[in-house]
């Protein structure tokens, strides 16, 4: 019985971590798709710099949501 509770709480902790990573990844994607181009236009940044910022944020989003190895 105690072992079942331990496994159950462990699964809940993993689910909470995955949800946090998913929220972080979604926030980074939203930033790269909407906020970066809007701010770049407002500040007058070049298209290549805007694209580089978007790529960097998308890579960060991918790393945040990737399953952990361990």
- pLDDT digit string (tens) for 22-34? 888 888 888 888 8
**Contact (Cβ atoms closer than 8 angstroms) between residue 27 and residue 64:** no
Query: By the 8 A CB rule, do 37 and 50 touch?
Result: yes
Question: Which pairs count as long-range contacts for 15-22, CB under 8 Å and 24+ apart, including other chains?
Answer: 21/64, 21/65, 22/65
Each residue's pLDDT tens digit, 10-65: 566 556 567 888 888 888 888 888 888 899 999 999 999 999 999 998 898 888 88
């Amino acid at each position: 019985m105690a072992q079942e509770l331990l496994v159950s709480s462990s699964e809940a902790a993993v689910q909470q971590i995955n949800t946090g990573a998913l929220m972080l990844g979604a926030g980074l994607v939203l930033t790269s798709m909407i906020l970066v181009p809007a701010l770049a236009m407002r500040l007058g940044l070049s298209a290549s710099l805007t694209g580089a910022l978007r790529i960097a944020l998308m890579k960060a989003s991918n790393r945040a949501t990737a399953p952990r190895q361990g």
